[in-house]
Amino acid sequence: MQTRTLQTDGLKQRILEAGPTDGSAPLVLLIHGFPELGISWRAQVQALAEAGYHAVAPDMRGYGDTERPSGVEAYSILSLVGDMVDLVRALARETGSRTECVVVGHDWGAPVAWHCALLRPQMFRAVFGLSVPFQPRIPKGAPLPMMRAISKRVGRDLYICQFQAPQAHRAFETDVAAALRKGFYAYDGATPNDRQSTGFIAPGQDFVSEIPDDATLPPWMTPDHFAEYVAAFSAGGFDAPLNWYRCLDRNWALMAFVQDLKITVPSAFMVGERDPVRNYSGAAEATLKDWATDLRHLTVVPGAGHWIQQEQPDVVNAALLQFLGGLTTPPKT
């Protein structure tokens, strides 16, 4: 496994990679979410490399050692998909291989992966989503007004609404270690039900203060691994990562041209049974097969929470390798 910085057409991207780099191995691209980094995929990078794949996990735009363009508008879904297109092209130039890959995404990385497959199916020949199912564009209106209406009805703010504030990142940056520890704890499968986050924040609280101060690191998170996150977010901050959320309505406007378009490449989806994100995105699981027309697997992992590829790496690795191995065979009927 190695890390290096790669200059793509529009961005310097830091990547974690392993496996054959001579063009002989299929490329698998792993996209992380919030608040994560390329290192979130270490177990998958290792397993994929051992199975003969070229595995690459970038720090995404605004995260870690990848560049942070200024301005909210620089973090639209089109920019994020474009970064992955640029990365695949740059890797293909290096290795002399075909400009294609299988794309895997977790959390915010899942919508990026789904849209990679939706917009560039010739390049992204299959997609595997974790934790967040594909959510098609709703023609009746942008998402934030709907989220605010739900928040008003329940009397608690969905955290995504709070993230729209220009200074929302400061709640995380006051104590980076505490914010990360609380976030990992509140969305972990090992955390008791009454201490998991619901995603809805009580009046007068924010994402960080809502979580108990005695929150502990999840059992899978070693102190050394946690220290890597703390160092990265202490250096880079949370403003750029939150810009991904601040582009939700912009994304809705930009994506009108793909209204009703479906994902036709082979796909799979995996979610933790106890993932709190299912409280507000779980409905899309039921309709996923309608929008991903070659959906080969939909798996709910017992006992797992949101950080599924780190909580249960063996389960995720086995499912991912099974999916990759089946790409040369016809879909199930």
Count of C-beta atoms within a 10 Å radius of residue 104: 30
* pLDDT tens digits, one per residue of 159-185: 999 999 999 999 999 999 999 999 999
In this prediction, residue 331 has a pLDDT band, given cuts at 50, 70 and 90, of low
Residues 131 and 218 in one domain: no
Residues 286 and 153 in one domain: no
Residue 140 scores a pLDDT above 90:
no
Spatial separation of the C-alpha atoms in residues 261 and 134, rounded to whole Å: 12
In the prediction, which pLDDT does 333 show? 47
Whose CA is closest to 104, among 28, 38, 46? 28
Residues 263 and 131 in one domain: yes
Query: Average pLDDT, stretch 109-119?
Result: 98
In the prediction, which pLDDT does 149 show? 95
Residue 252 lies in a domain: no
Residues 128 and 149 in one domain: no
Spatial separation of the C-alpha atoms in residues 230 and 331, rounded to whole Å: 42
Spatial separation of the C-alpha atoms in residues 164 and 220, rounded to whole Å: 31
In this prediction, residue 128 has a pLDDT band, given cuts at 50, 70 and 90, of very high
Residues 301 and 288 in one domain: yes
Residues 121 and 201 in one domain: no
281 φ/ψ angles, rounded to the nearest 5 degrees = -130, 0
Count of C-beta atoms within a 10 Å radius of residue 204: 7
Tokens (6 digits) for 91: 């890797």
216 φ/ψ angles, rounded to the nearest 5 degrees = -115, 165
Count of C-beta atoms within a 10 Å radius of residue 189: 23
When divided into structural domains, the chain yields a total of: 2
* pLDDT tens digits, one per residue of 223-250: 999 999 999 999 999 999 999 999 999 9
Which one of 246, 268, 284 terminates a domain? 246
Residues 98 and 172 in one domain: no
Residue 331 lies in a domain: no
Which residue(s) pair with 301 in the sheet?
272
Tokens (6 digits) for 97: 């291989």
Which one of 246, 272, 306 terminates a domain? 246
CATH number at residue 269: 3.40.50.1820
- Chain centroid to CA 215: how far? 23
Residue 332 lies in a domain: no
* Cβ neighbourhood burial of 225 (10 Å; 0-12, 13-18, 19+): middle
Residues 168 and 134 in one domain: no
Which alpha helices (DSSP H) does 38-95 contain, by range? 42-50, 77-95
Residues 126 and 266 in one domain: yes
Residues 180 and 121 in one domain: no
Residues 267 and 205 in one domain: no
Spatial separation of the C-alpha atoms in residues 45 and 43, rounded to whole Å: 6
Residues 118 and 262 in one domain: yes
C-alpha dihedral (225, 226, 231, 235), degrees to nearest 10: 120
Structural domain for 182, as ranges: 143-246
Residue 46 lies in a domain: yes
Q: What is the number of H-type helices and E-type strands within the chain?
A: 14, 10
Whose CA is closest to 226, among 278, 176, 191? 176
Residue 308 lies in a domain: yes
Residue 253 lies in a domain: no
Residue 251 lies in a domain: no
* pLDDT tens digits, one per residue of 266-305: 999 999 999 999 988 878 999 999 999 999 999 999 999 9
Residue 333 lies in a domain: no
Which one of 246, 271, 294 terminates a domain? 246
Catalytic residues: 107, 306
pTM of the shown model = 0.96
